[in-house]
Structures are given as structure tokens and as C-alpha cells.
Amino acid sequence: MALLAADAPQTAPLPQPDPIRIDRKGRRPTIPDVPRDQVICFALYTVQDGTLKLSAQLYPLRQGESRDVTLEILDGDQWKPVAKSQADERGWLATFRVENWDHSRDHQYRVTHPGGARYAGRIRKDPRHKDEIVVAAFTGNSNTDRGPRADIVANIKAQDPDLLFFSGDQSYDHKAHTAAWLLFGRQFGEIIKDRPTITIPDDHDVGQGNLWGEGGKVSKLRGGADGGYTMPADYVNMVQRAQTSHLPDPYDATPIGQGITVYYTSLNVGGIDFAIIEDRKFKTGPAGLIPPQGPRPDHITDPNYDPRSVDVPEARLLGERQLKFLHKWGQDWSGVEMKAALSQTIFAGGAHIHGKHNARLKADLDSNGWPQAGRARALEELRRCFAFHIAGDQHLATVIHHGVNTWEDSGLSYCVPSIVNFYGRWWWPEEAPLKHAADNPLPFTGRYYDGLGNKVTMHAYANPTTANHNAAGYGLVRFRKPSRQIVIECWPRHVDVTDPKARQHPGWPITVRQEDNYGRRALHYLPELRISGRENPVVQIVDEASDEVVYTVRIKGDTIRPKVFKEGVYTIRVGEGDHVIGFENVKSVEKISDGYLQVGF
């Protein structure tokens, strides 16, 4: 990553952002009465560890119509049934599971119903042979525009990503998820049917404007800021079943309060290992926990408030279960080249102005910058495995390098822009940055404290204007395995990516390195490892004083000079599975020396 040049403080205040124009074309979704040979709307799938999971979303079936649904695979010139299911009348979803799936080749599939409906697509082979794995990421499919998404669909077909990720708010219709979900399928089914897709529900999907799940309690406060769910558990589970049934099995499927299900898990696509986490399911609500310091429990507008006052020990973010999952996931590198986390939103307060161009917040407790201690624990787990983070929700595209103790000592996040941005947010700090890249076209880049006192380094943002369609669009992330580079792209709406003149939002693309995701500066070093008999081996460093894993990573090449962050004695492990070579009682040194360890397999 390019170094940031020092920048002098601003001598004059910058103007306020212009208001954006909203075209409200939305009406409440209805479920169309489709011909009976078209009752299958769309299908989603993933493949993990030899297991195919596919869900098919149907339109409501009539009384007397069969609920039977069949998954078939083209075998030569014949369609072969491989699984059967019954459509669930609560949401009209049919789910399929096929073990021992041959993931080494493409398969043409179709879902069929006895009434004559057929829905066909392609289950792709694992793209492990590819040097570059591409993820297209989306958020915020607003209810202000019910129209088709032809521009996005055409662009995605042209860019042909290996994985689609919808980070939440696929539905904004709080009490009509099935109708909105069917509309989502009509909008995006053409690209979803032919490639693995991750959809995870966020607050609007489960029927509330903001969500602090707090382990599944019942929320009794309008707005949900007391923590928990405002809609009945049966409704929440129906939404989660529709959006996540096709994901790999949960790491720990134990339901939370009210019997609400969980789905946090992982998916390996082409050697990129994605942790799929639930930011808000275990997060504590602020109401009743911290004193109000603004017009509502989660909005702080008092310019004199102390960020430390809201970082109370009772507040939780990811919860112990998910932190345990991330810790174990970060150490498992079997078949993995690089790691990334996928979630609803980023671990920072990534916006200063919300909703209206003059509505400035000091801090937003709906963001995952709060609680600060919970944020730090999440970032510490992600950096242990050099994981990049992709998320959405904020309506505002940003690339942030996070810091816990100092700037850039943790990983980077990419918050992708909203598909339709009816509620603008702006990155518009009042203070000057500590550093700013002189050649960056965006004025507000560099090192800042967010409104919660977290250290953030802003590399790019896309503030909404009328001219840029309110900064709507989608993100593309390219994981380049040979170079261990990550290329971050931000594409506006209504741009034809096949046009040589097409341009991304100003400030993009951005290229970072895998190692930037543990950007913490070395204070001590271990001897250089010179490894033979293994290509790109896994290396793990363990602090013997605390028995804590410092980090685990698959290196590129056959040498590494491990960095550590304090003087001490360490265990080094090289390899994976049954082929691991370990070195104990290895003392760190303050400066790089000529010493080395020879590791032979």
C-alpha cells in the first residue's frame, strides 16, 4: 500500500455537502399471480466440503397443488433427479442437500414442479485453477425503486465474478418479506442462478429499522434500541430460512433466545476462505445501558461527550460464540490461500452525516464502531489470519484501514455502496486528517478518529450527489492468489463496464496486500524460516508466555522472517494437517539478524 504523505491542517472550513434528490418510485410489493408453469421464481446455492445446498423460492402454491419439488442434474442428455423436497408453506421455500458432490466440473441443474414449472441454471466447478477469485458485493436494495436492475445484471454478466455477496437489506418491507424476496429474485435471479451466492439478512430484512439482537431477546422499545427482535421469532426464522438455507451448515447451530436460528459459517471458493458472520445477532442494545446523549438512544449529538463513557463492560458485539468460531476458522488453512470475512457492516463509525445533508452525528451506536472493546476483539481475531473484510449497510462506500492501539495495526474493510441509495450518508469530517495522500482526488482521506474514538485511516469514500446517482452502485473485490494482492473496485449505477470510457467512483480502484491486514509494526523478530519440500506452506506463531496464537498464514514462497510484537519466547509451526514441524523456545530479537531455521519436509 502506498505510504501517506504528511498534510498540513486545513486553514478554512470546507463547504457542506449538497442535498441529494430522491426519486421515490416504490410501492408496497405484491405477489403476482403467475402462470402455473412459472411457480419457481429463483434458486440459490453454495458448495462446501463436498456438499451442495440449494434453495428454490416458489410463488405461493394454490390449495390442491402439489408441494413436491425436485432437483435434477443433466447427466449426458438425460435429466437425473438427485434430491426431492417439499415447499414450506411459511415462505414457500424448497431446500435441497446433496452429499458427495463432484465439485471438479460444471453441472447443469433444473428445479421442477409437477405443475410443469422448470427453473434451470449452472452449478459451477470450484475455480481453484484460477489465479484470481472475484467477488461482487451488494447492499441496500431499497424499497424506493421497485424496478429491474438491468444495468447491474448486465455488468455482472460481463465481469463474471466467482461469488456474489448480498450483505443485507435485500428487503425493506418489514412485514412483507416473501413478496419483497420474490421481487429480489426477479431483479437478480438471472445472475444468481449460475454462480454461488451468499445472502445474509440485516435489520430491514427481519422487520426493523435497526437491530441489536442481544442473543434473541424480545425488544419492547420502538426502534429496537433496548436490544432484541421486534417481529415474532417465527417471522425472523422464516426470513433467515429464505435467505440462508443454502449456506454451508452453521459452525454451531444452537438457536439463540426465542428459538431464533443462527447461520454463521464459512465458505471456500477457489481457495479464498470466507467467514460469514452475524454482526448484530449478539450485539447489545444501547437503551438503558448508557445515558441518552442525543435525540434517540443510538444517536449521539452532544459535541462534548466522552467516547469512553459509552464503552461499558456489559456491552457485547459479536458474542463469545462467534469469536470462538473466528479464532478456530483463522487457524484452519486446509485448501486455503487467503482469508476474508463477510458481514452486515464494518467495525467503525464510517459516516458523519446521516439522512439529510445537514444532519451531523457525533457518533452512531448502530455502527460496529460500538462497543469499542467488542470492535477491538473482532479486529484482533480477523488480523490473526490476515483477513480482509467486506460488508455493507452504511449506504456509503468506504475503504478503511482499522487501528486498535495505533493506526493501521489491524485489517482493512470495504463497505460497498447501496444498490439504491435513498438515505444518504456522507464521510465529511470537521477536523483535518493527521496524514493525507497528496495525490488522492478525495479531500477527506488519511488518519482520523471516528466519533467513537476509534483509529481509522480512510483510503476512499463515495459521498452521494445527484450527479452520481446518490453514489449508488456495487463493489468488486479481486483476490489475486499469486501476488497475494487484493484489488478493490467501486462501480456506480448506470455505467456500462464494457465501455472503455467507463470509470469507477473517484478514488478507486485500490490495491492492497494480504499482509496489510495485519499492519501492526514489528517490535521483535524471529529467525528467518527457510523451508524445503513444501510450496507456500502455512506458518503459525504462538506466544509461549500466554499460549496465544499470534497469527497463522499461508506464506508465498519458501522463506519468511516472522514478525512479533513483543520480546519473548515463541513456538513456530510450519505445515498443516499431519505434516507439521514445530520449533519451541525460540527467542525473539529486537533487530533482524543473520540467524535462520532450516525447515525440511
What is the pTM assigned to this prediction? 0.95
Q: Which helix (H) or strand (E) holds 403?
A: strand 397-403
Domain span at residue 483 reads 132-518
More confident residue, 577 or 28: 577
| Residue 3 lies inside a defined structural domain of this protein | no
**512 shares its domain with 547:** no
DSSP state of 418: B
* pLDDT above 50 (res 293): yes
End-to-end C-alpha distance for the chain, whole angstroms: 34
**261 shares its domain with 291:** yes
| Residue 30 lies inside a defined structural domain of this protein | no
Backbone angles phi, psi at 448, to 5 degrees: -140, 165
Looking at 105, 123, 141, the residue that finishes a domain is 123
**217 shares its domain with 354:** yes
* CB-CB contact of 61 with 93 (8 Å): no
| Residue 561 lies inside a defined structural domain of this protein | yes
Q: What is the pLDDT of residues 230-275, one digit of tens each?
A: 999 999 999 999 999 999 999 999 999 999 999 999 999 999 999 9
* pLDDT above 50 (res 584): yes
Q: 97-120: buried (b, 16+ CB within 10 Å) or exposed (e) per residue?
A: bbeebebeeebebbbbbebebebb
| Residue 8 lies inside a defined structural domain of this protein | no
130-134, 193-197, 438-442: range with lowest mean pLDDT: 438-442
| Residue 2 lies inside a defined structural domain of this protein | no
**pLDDT at res. 4:** 33
195-199, 294-298, 326-330: range with lowest mean pLDDT: 294-298
The residues, any chain, with a CB within 8 Å of residue 153's CB and separated by 6 or more, are: 187, 188, 190, 191
Q: What is the pLDDT of residues 525-575, one digit of tens each?
A: 999 999 999 999 999 999 999 999 999 999 999 999 999 999 999 999 999
Q: What is the pLDDT of residues 12-46, one digit of tens each?
A: 445 667 666 655 666 788 899 999 999 999 999 99
Confidence of residue 8 (pLDDT cuts 50, 70, 90): very low
The residues, any chain, with a CB within 8 Å of residue 549's CB and separated by 6 or more, are: 327, 330, 331, 384, 540, 541, 542
**489 shares its domain with 438:** yes
Mean pLDDT, the chain, rounded, equals 94
**75 shares its domain with 118:** yes
Q: Which helix (H) or strand (E) holds 159?
A: helix 150-159
| Residue 9 lies inside a defined structural domain of this protein | no
Q: What is the pLDDT of residues 482-495, one digit of tens each?
A: 999 999 999 999 99
| Residue 13 lies inside a defined structural domain of this protein | no
**231 shares its domain with 112:** no
Mean pLDDT for 277-297 is 95
CATH number of the domain enclosing 73? 2.60.40.380
Question: What span, in angstroms and rounded, lies between the C-alpha atoms of 237 and 220?
Answer: 19
* pLDDT above 80 (res 123): yes
**pLDDT at res. 466:** 86
Q: How many structural domains are present in the chain? A: 3
| Residue 465 lies inside a defined structural domain of this protein | yes
Comparing C-alpha atoms, which of 489, 554, 471 is closest to residue 134?
489
CATH number of the domain enclosing 391? 3.60.21.70
CATH number of the domain enclosing 563? 2.60.40
Looking at 123, 143, 163, the residue that finishes a domain is 123
**290 shares its domain with 344:** yes
**294 shares its domain with 351:** yes
Looking at 89, 123, 157, the residue that finishes a domain is 123
**pLDDT at res. 24:** 60
**pLDDT at res. 22:** 56
**178 shares its domain with 163:** yes
* pLDDT above 70 (res 599): yes
Question: What span, in angstroms and rounded, lies between the C-alpha atoms of 376 and 453?
Answer: 12
* pLDDT above 70 (res 2): no
**348 shares its domain with 297:** yes
**433 shares its domain with 456:** yes
**479 shares its domain with 560:** no
